[in-house]
Amino acid sequence: MKKNTGIVSDIDGLITSQPVFRGLPTWFDRLPPSARAELSLVRDKYAEGGYPGVSKRAIARAVISVANERGWAVSKAQGVVAWLTQKPE
Let me know: does 40 contact 88? Beta carbons within 8 Å: yes
Average pLDDT, the chain: 86
Query: Which of 8-12, 13-17, 19-23, 69-73 has the weakest average pLDDT?
Result: 19-23
| Contacts of 76 by beta carbon, 8 Å cutoff, 6+ apart | 64
Residue 64 near residue 74, CB atoms below 8 Å = yes
Taking the complete model, does pTM exceed 0.85, yes or no? no
What is d(CA 80, CA 58) in angstroms, rounded to the nearest whole number? Answer: 10
- Return the higher-pLDDT residue of 49 and 16: 49
The predicted pLDDT at position 16 comes to 73
**C-alpha to C-alpha distances, 35 to 30, 39, 42, 71, nearest whole angstrom:** 10, 6, 11, 11
